[in-house]
Amino acid sequence: MADIPRLKQNAVAIHIGYPADVAEQLEAEARAVDMSVIRLDVGLVKDESSLLELLAQEFLFPGKTGFDGAISYLADLEWFGTENGFLIIVTGLDVLMNAATRSLNRLIAILPAVLDRMRTRGTRCHYVLVGSHSVLQSCRKILREENRKLLEAAERYPWLHDVRDVPLVEYGMRDWVGD
């Protein structure tokens, strides 16, 4: 496991470009330090409504919500009772891209806001996005844009002074082109 980025390098991060076997190594590392591991398979999502239902079910939201509420709930997972943080492995991204591209874009777009809030609360959390080259390139583009928006908002609004760029840990993506 020495060749994979360690979870302790960042309090929060989004990992992309991992083959399934390396994601499994990261999962083993997370379990070894008593992080809660959540596998989120978005492959059956058909639209934004079913995406919100899946998030509510998997993350035990106390009620129905929209995407703004989902950000709040995902950033505050205290009801899981872990003190060592979370590793959330998201699979089914290719199926979601083919079935409901808008839903994929909405899911990926909220992750930087979720993780920035978790960082400010001192909660360790890492998302691992598992998918094909083309889907992960789309995800990376969305994540970079959302990080840029977060930082721009922090410059405009004084109460967002603590906003930081959410790290994107890219595995084996140096050879990717078309960014």
53-109 tens-digit pLDDT: 999 999 999 888 999 999 999 998 888 888 889 999 999 999 999 888 999 999 999
Give 95-127 pLDDT, tens digit per residue.
Answer: 999 888 999 999 999 999 999 889 888 899 999
Mean pLDDT score, 33-54: 94
Residue 159 falls inside a structural domain: yes
- 23: in domain: yes
pLDDT for the residue 143: 92
What confidence tier does 3 reach under pLDDT thresholds 50, 70, 90? very low
User: The pTM is what?
Assistant: 0.87
CA angle (86 as vertex; 10, 11 as ends), nearest 5: 15
**How far apart, in Å, are the Cα atoms of 127 and each of 7, 44, 150, 178?**
10, 19, 18, 23
CATH assignment at residue 93 = 3.30.370.10
- Residues 125-140: what's their mean pLDDT? 92
Please state the rounded mean pLDDT for residues 39-45. 95
Neighbours of 121 (CB within 10 A): 12
31: Cβ contacts below 8 Å, ≥ 6 apart: 37
- DSSP alpha helices (H): ranges in 5-159? 20-32, 48-58, 67-75, 93-99, 101-120, 133-156
β-partners of residue 127 are 14, 88
Cβ(140)–Cβ(16) below 8 Å: yes
pLDDT at 90: 95
pLDDT above 80: residue 31: yes
In total, how many domains does the chain have? 1
Q: What is the pLDDT of residue 158?
A: 65
Helix, strand, coil % over all residues of the chain, rounded to 5:
50, 15, 35
Would you place residue 173 in the very low, low, confident or very high pLDDT band (cuts 50, 70, 90)?
low
Least trusted range by pLDDT, from 5-14, 124-133, 158-167: 158-167
Q: Which of 68, 15, 176 is nearest to 5 (CA)?
A: 15
State the sign of the Cα–Cα–Cα–Cα dihedral 99, 139, 142, 74. Answer: positive
Query: Tell me, what's the pLDDT at 156?
Result: 74
Note whether residue 122 is domain-resident: yes
Q: The domain containing residue 158 runs over which residues?
A: 10-170
- The answer to whether position 3 is within a domain reads no
Task: Write down the mean pLDDT value for the chain.
Answer: 85
Q: Is residue 175 part of a domain?
A: no
Token code pair at residue 26: 């990261």
